[in-house]
């Protein structure tokens, strides 16, 4: 069943049209990756879904038209956005950052249970529970950013370049965790410049170029596509 459907989506920054009518579907239980070069419109696609840019066209989520809803409402619908550059709260501890992720939950017991679930995926966060977010390594901050998103128990995770700026061993780890989250039932839309690794773990992929979808296919087919290899996997 399709969980997220974008149809004829245009996005604008003032007079600049960053998305020129893209259509994209994410089915429940899938990892779908959106790959493309710098400035192609990947981040804008995620921002459009969660109401952070001006759009035309439709965003249907879980059977409901949520086009142009503001971010706090799309979050309540079950859409968790982990933006590029892992914007955690640097002066807050790991514990406090995680609690911020569950902003709509009042019950302390529920918050504790969700925290434990986040720790199951990210044991490192448990070790660093009382450490200030800003003092942790890039990889740990990425874990915290994803962990915080999990605290709202979303139906879908929108991940914007989770591998950016990480050492290769940490990139491997983050991609393994993304797969583990997916095996646990999480649907994921993954934006990546690291096309090779993203396609390795995704079920399907879309290639975006200057605001338009150029190709869509099974991830394995995109990995062996000559055009994709030349442009994005070289």
Ligand X SMILES: Nc1ncnc2c1ncn2[C@@H]1O[C@H](COP(=O)(O)OP(=O)(O)OP(=O)(O)O)[C@@H](O)[C@H]1O
Which stretches of the chain bind ligand X, using CB under 6 A?
13, 16, 18, 36, 38-44, 193
State the nearest-atom distance from the C-beta of 91 to ligand X, in Å.
Answer: 26
Q: Are 204 and 182 in contact (CB under 8 A)?
A: no
Q: Which is nearer to ligand X, 1 or 234 (CB)?
A: 234
Tell how many helices (H) and how many strands (E) occur in the chain. 10, 10
CA dihedral 123, 74, 4, 208 (to 10 degrees): -80
State the nearest-atom distance from the C-beta of 105 to ligand X, in Å.
Answer: 31
State the nearest-atom distance from the C-beta of 125 to ligand X, in Å.
Answer: 26
Q: Which is nearer to ligand X, 40 or 94 (CB)?
A: 40
State the nearest-atom distance from the C-beta of 233 to ligand X, in Å.
Answer: 16
List, as own/partner pairs, every contact residues 178-182 make where C-beta atoms lie below 8 angstroms and the sequence separation is at least 24, other chains included: 178/31, 179/31, 180/121, 181/121, 181/146, 181/150, 181/157, 182/29, 182/30, 182/31
Q: Collapsing DSSP states into helix, strand and coil, what is residue 68?
A: coil
Backbone torsions φ then ψ of 201, nearest 5 degrees: -105, -10
Bridge partners (DSSP) listed for residue 187? 156
Q: Collapsing DSSP states into helix, strand and coil, what is residue 106?
A: coil
Q: Which is nearer to ligand X, 164 or 170 (CB)?
A: 164
Neighbours of 98 (CB within 10 A): 25
Q: Which is nearer to ligand X, 49 or 94 (CB)?
A: 49
Q: Which is nearer to ligand X, 38 or 130 (CB)?
A: 38
State the nearest-atom distance from the C-beta of 111 to ligand X, in Å.
Answer: 32
State the nearest-atom distance from the C-beta of 160 to ligand X, in Å.
Answer: 7
Bridge partners (DSSP) listed for residue 207? 35, 215
Q: Which is nearer to ligand X, 20 or 117 (CB)?
A: 20
State the nearest-atom distance from the C-beta of 174 to ligand X, in Å.
Answer: 17
Q: Which is nearer to ligand X, 149 or 195 (CB)?
A: 195
Packing angle between helix 138-150 and helix 168-183, nearest 10 degrees?
10
């Amino acid at each position: 069943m399709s969980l997220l459907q974008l149809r004829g989506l245009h996005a604008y920054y003032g007079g600049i049209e960053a998305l020129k009518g893209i259509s994209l579907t994410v089915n429940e239980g899938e990892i779908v990756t959106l790959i493309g070069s710098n400035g192609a419109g990947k981040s804008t696609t995620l921002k459009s879904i969660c109401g952070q840019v001006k759009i035309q066209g439709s965003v249907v989520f879980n059977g409901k038209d949520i086009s142009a809803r503001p971010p706090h409402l799309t979050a309540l619908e079950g859409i968790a956005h982990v933006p590029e550059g892992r914007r955690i709260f640097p002066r807050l501890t790991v514990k406090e950052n995680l609690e911020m992720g569950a902003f709509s939950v009042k019950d302390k017991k529920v918050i504790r249970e969700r925290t434990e679930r986040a720790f199951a995926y990210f044991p490192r966060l448990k070790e660093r529970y009382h450490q200030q977010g800003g003092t942790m390594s890039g990889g740990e901050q990425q874990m915290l950013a994803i962990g915080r998103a999990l605290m709202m128990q979303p139906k879908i995770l929108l991940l914007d370049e989770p591998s950016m700026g990480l050492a290769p061993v940490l990139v491997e780890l983050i991609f393994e965790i993304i797969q583990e989250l997916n095996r646990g039932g999480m649907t994921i839309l993954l934006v990546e410049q690291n096309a090779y690794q993203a396609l390795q773990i995704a079920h399907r992929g879309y290639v975006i170029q200057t605001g338009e979808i150029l190709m869509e296919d099974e991830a394995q087919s995109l990995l062996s596509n000559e055009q994709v290899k030349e442009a994005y996997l070289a």
